[in-house]
Structure 1
Amino acid sequence: MHQHLASPPQARQAVLDLAPSRIREVANAGMDRSDVVPFWFGESDQPTPAFIRAAAVESLERNNTFYTQNLGRPALRTAIASYISRLRNITLGPNRVGVASSGVSALMLGSQLVLSPGDRVVVVTPIWPNIAEIPKILGAEVTRFPLSVRSNRWQLDLDHLLATLTDDVRMLVINSPNNPTGWTISTEQQAAILAHCRQRGIWILSDEVYDRLVFTPGQTAAPSMLSVADPEDRLIVVNSFSKTWRMTGWRLGWLVLPTNLVPQLEKLIEYNTSCVPEFVQAGGLAALTDPASAATVTQIHRELGEARATLLTALRQLPGVTLPEADGAMYAFFRVDGHADSLALAKRLVAEAGLGLAPGSAFGDEGEGWLRWCFAAAPERINTGVDRLRSFLRQS
Structure 2
Amino acid sequence: MKSRERMAMRTVVEQLQASRIREVANEGLGRDDVLKFWFGESDEATPGFIREAAMASLQAGETFYAHNLGLPALREAIAAYTEGLHPAHPATHWLGRIAVTSGGVNGLMLASQALVEAGDDVVVVTPVWPNLAAQPAILGAHVRRVALRVQAEGPRAGAWQLDMDALRRVVTPTTRLLIVNAPNNPTGWTLSAAEQRDILAHCRRTGTWILADEVYERLYFAGDTANGAAPSFLDLCEPDDRVIVAHSFSKSFLMTGWRLGWLVLPPALIDAIAKLIEYNTSCAPVFVQRAATVALQRGDEVTPALVSHLRQCRDTLVPLLRQLPGVSLAEPLGGMYAFFRLQGQDDCLALAKRLVREAGLGLAPGSAFGPEAAGWLRWCFASRDTARLVQGVERLSGWLQARTAGGQTRL
TM range (shorter): over 0.9
Deviation, 1:230, is 0.5
- One-letter code of the match for 1:346? A
* Kept in 1: contact 2:318–2:331 (CA 8 A): no
Secondary structure, aligned partner of 1:254: strand
- TM-score, length-scaled by structure 2: 0.94
Deviation, 1:189, is 0.6
Residues of 1 paired with 2:379 and 2:332: CA distance? 14
Deviation, 1:5, is 3.8
Residues of 2 paired with 1:103 and 1:130: CA distance? 11
Residue in 1 aligned with 2:214?
208
- Tell whether 2:105 aligns with 1:104: yes
- Alpha-carbon displacement from aligned partner over 1:19-52 (angstroms, at most 9, x marks no partner): 1110111012213210111000000010011111
Residue in 2 aligned with 1:194?
200
Residue in 1 aligned with 2:374?
368
User: Which deviates the most, 130-139 or 7-16?
Assistant: 7-16
- One-letter code of the match for 2:146? F
* Kept in 1: contact 2:213–2:247 (CA 8 A): yes
Secondary structure, aligned partner of 1:216: coil
Count how many residue pairs are aligned between Structure 1 and Structure 2. 392
- TM-score, length-scaled by structure 1: 0.97
* Kept in 2: contact 1:149–1:324 (CA 8 A): no
* Kept in 2: contact 1:320–1:337 (CA 8 A): yes
Residues of 2 paired with 1:379 and 1:212: CA distance? 21
Residue in 2 aligned with 1:264?
272
Choose which of 47, 66, 90 in structure 1 pairs with 2:45: 47
Which residues of structure 2 form unaligned runs of 5+? 152-156, 404-411
Choose which of 254, 260, 280 in structure 2 pairs with 1:246: 254
- Tell whether 2:325 aligns with 1:319: yes
Deviation, 1:395, is 1.1
Residues of 2 paired with 1:149 and 1:31: CA distance? 34
Deviation, 1:217, is 2.9
- One-letter code of the match for 1:233? D
- Tell whether 2:295 aligns with 1:287: yes
Residue in 2 aligned with 1:385?
392
Residues of 2 paired with 1:296 and 1:9: CA distance? 48
**Closer, same or farther in 2 for the Cα pair 1:36/1:8, shift >3 Å?**
farther
- One-letter code of the match for 2:381? F
Deviation, 1:4, is 4.9
Which residues of structure 1 form unaligned runs of 5+? none
- One-letter code of the match for 2:249? F
Choose which of 149, 165, 171 in structure 1 pairs with 2:177: 171
* Kept in 1: contact 2:36–2:361 (CA 8 A): yes
Secondary structure, aligned partner of 2:84: helix
- One-letter code of the match for 1:380? A
Secondary structure, aligned partner of 1:145: strand
Residues of 2 paired with 1:16 and 1:153: CA distance? 35
- Alpha-carbon displacement from aligned partner over 1:268-295 (angstroms, at most 9, x marks no partner): 00000000000000111011113xx213
Percent of paired sites with the same residue: 55
Secondary structure, aligned partner of 1:223: coil
Deviation, 1:8, is 6.3
- One-letter code of the match for 1:251? R
Residue in 1 aligned with 2:147?
146
**Closer, same or farther in 2 for the Cα pair 1:31/1:81, shift >3 Å?**
farther
Which runs of at least 4 in structure 1 moved beyond 6 Å after TM superposition?
none
RMSD (CA atoms): 1.1
**Closer, same or farther in 2 for the Cα pair 1:99/1:6, shift >3 Å?**
closer
Deviation, 1:79, is 0.8
- Tell whether 2:179 aligns with 1:162: no
